[in-house]
Structure 1
Amino acid sequence: MILLLLPTLAWSAGRHGYLGLHAGSLNATGIEGDQANPVIFSLGQRLSARFAFQLEYSVAESFKSQVSKQGKTETCLVDYSTQAAYLVLIQSASSWIDYSAKLGYLKADYNFKNADISNQAKEAFNSTNLSYGLGLVLKLNNRIGLIGEYTQLRSDAYHLSAGVELSF
């Protein structure tokens, strides 16, 4: 009988895992043209009622863009992805709304196809740095929530996204 209560006790203590699937837009200075629309996958573990650890991966289909760096502008196709790890602070506003703030480490990879710009300029877009964001979760029930997020990837690039989060 006690073993049957353990999952319920863990849930009530705020310790559970979650998966997220978001769609969004990438906005980056120096990249103009078609907007990148990344898909963002997240996997998290609540450490307590107020904290979580979260891994994220985002990827965008190739998009046409004009890339400006060091006074040179090129039109090319761009592939884009990120990998990140975050510590997330969660604040409940009510039984059905949570706010969150995240701080972590992010690696962004841009691949410029058919671009005649220097490798140094290409590498300037790729970065590994601190990242932060703010989110809002509207809980539909104990397992499903709708989420909206703003994530600053670096000083000149950010994601806006919306999606679904499933708790387990």
Structure 2
Amino acid sequence: MSNIFDELTATGTAQKFTLGLTRRAGGRNFVYVQLSASAQNAAADGTVLYGTLADPNVVTDDISATHPNLARGVAIGALPKGAFGWIQTWGAHPAVRTDGGDDIATGDAIIGDPSADGVCDSVPAGTAPTHKTLGFATAADANSANTVAAYLTLEKGD
């Protein structure tokens, strides 16, 4: 097993830590997971969902294999299918991938997109979210980058 202070963006096919291990740093929470072998490659800053409720530490970015209510976190580094790596579940995140709709405003709830893999969508502030929230937008989405700064609120950890 490797040192827990390895770069959070490091991924690999060999398991370095216990699945489900959490790490807190700078007011943020990270969880060590495996991307399902049947998933697509998850992009850095893309949303991931529970692949199965039987094992919360095997995730997918394939919305057709799961449900938007099963949001698990945001990938820190690019995760090839079957690989191990870190996801963020709590705290400020500078650039969560969006669906490209350029319609997210500061304060909107962000949710796993119900029709596109590995991205978030939004529900306007003051409206009840339609799916489990990943967190809240802390700025309007960056139009050309298709990302949004957000505060994630899924799992704070200890």
Q: TM-score range by the shorter chain?
A: under 0.3
TM-score of the superposed pair, with normalisation by structure 1: 0.21
Q: Kindly indicate which of the two structures has a greater share of residues assigned to strand.
A: 1
Higher radius of gyration, 1 or 2 = 1
Structure 2 length-normalised TM: 0.21
Q: Name the structure, 1 or 2, with higher relative contact order (CA <8 Å, separation 6+).
A: 2
- Structure with greater helix percent: 1
